Amino acid sequence: MKSPATLVALLHGPDQPGIVARTAGWIFARQGNILHADQHRDMEAGEFFQRIEWVPAGADATTEIREFKEFAASLGMGARVAYSAHRPKGAIFVSHADHCFHDLLLRGQAGEFAGDFTCVISNHPDLAEAARHYGLTFHHVPVTAETKSAAEARHLELLRAAGVEFVVLARYMQVLSDDFLKQFGQPVINIHHSFLPAFAGGRPYHQAHERGVKLIGATAHYATAVLDDGPIIQQDVARVTHRHSVDDLVRKGRDLEKSVLAQAVRWHLENRILVYGNKTVVFD
């Protein structure tokens, strides 16, 4: 049986008495049916966060979204509201390493994501045939220090033409500029092959091996202008010992990267992530 389309609201703002009751009452007054509701209070900052999902009684979801945002504003709350019938379009950026690329697309074909990938963009031609195998358009856009600005302009052109609403950096080994991120204006999810903030930047597995760590990790985060410093969505670790070589760390790390990135994309598309400052609240 097909599930009914729902509205999902993510709210945040100064904590005050009665927010939960008032949001539930607003939905009840319009004969909506609440399916899930969760909230969190940042004790230090005095900030309130809520995720609430409901089946609207009316057929006009656009009107209910607008009215709910107006209601939230009257409470002094910011609100983002998504409609589950809408499947956001995404693009994958990738370089040579293909493990996250294949994992995301296989999961997408299996119906694990509440959105769809529409194209692949790469600074190398290696994965062109693989992208076509998945039925996706492949764009090869070489990037050098001299052509970076022109390449990013081409990226924006391709993303806008495809109606892309989010980007996943599946081990795309180029730093996106602040100008690109501002002009794109949509979420960009990156996977970094270390447990940030440790070993930011290049060759983190080599850094970890040299340091003799006993845990390695992977971190999915939203990309910002500062390298590997954006709001963290998901992390995981694996144990290693002195017996493991750099190649062992890379092999174990790739498994972490795939699962961590997939979980971050899933949560993003299910509207479970609320960003505030350089932190996230992730509703399970």
- 220 within a domain of the structure (yes/no): yes
- 123 within a domain of the structure (yes/no): yes
Instruction: Name the domain boundary from 16, 49, 83.
Output: 83
Instruction: Please give the backbone phi and psi of residue 108, each rounded to the nearest 5 degrees, phi first.
Output: -60, -45
pLDDT at 202: 80
- Residue 228 is among the residues annotated as catalytic for this protein: yes
- Token pair of 255 as six digits: 């498994």
CA distance 32 to 4: 12
Return the closest-CA partner of residue 93 out of 166, 35, 2: 166
- 2 within a domain of the structure (yes/no): no
Number of domains forming the structure of the chain: 2
Instruction: Name the domain boundary from 48, 83, 118.
Output: 83
- 76 within a domain of the structure (yes/no): yes
From the CA atom positions of the chain, what is the Rg in Å? 21
In this structure, how many other beta carbons lie within 10 angstroms of the beta carbon of residue 96? Answer: 12
Print the domain residue range for 29.
Answer: 7-83
The mean pLDDT values, 10 residues at a time, for the chain of 284 residues are 88 95 96 96 94 92 96 96 97 97 98 98 98 97 96 98 98 95 98 83 86 92 90 95 92 96 98 94 95
Q: Contact 167/189 with Cβ under 8 angstroms?
A: yes
- Token pair of 110 as six digits: 């299996």
Is the same domain home to 69 and 157? Answer: no
The two beta strands, 89-94 and 116-122, are parallel
Which entry of 103, 126, 228, 236 is annotated as an active-site residue?
A: 228
Please list, in sequence order, all residues whose beta carbon lies within 8 angstroms of the beta carbon of residue 72, skipping any fewer than 6 positions away: 9, 11, 13, 23, 78, 79
Is the same domain home to 140 and 190? Answer: yes
Q: Contact 98/261 with Cβ under 8 angstroms?
A: no
Is the same domain home to 107 and 59? Answer: no
Label residue 58 exposed, middle or buried (CB < 10 Å: 0-12, 13-18, 19+).
Answer: exposed
CA distance 9 to 39: 11
- Per DSSP, 41 falls in state E
Return the closest-CA partner of residue 236 out of 208, 255, 222: 255
Is the same domain home to 70 and 93? Answer: no
Is the same domain home to 240 and 140? Answer: yes
Return the residue matching tokens 């971190």: 219
CA distance 141 to 153: 10
Instruction: Name the domain boundary from 63, 83, 103.
Output: 83
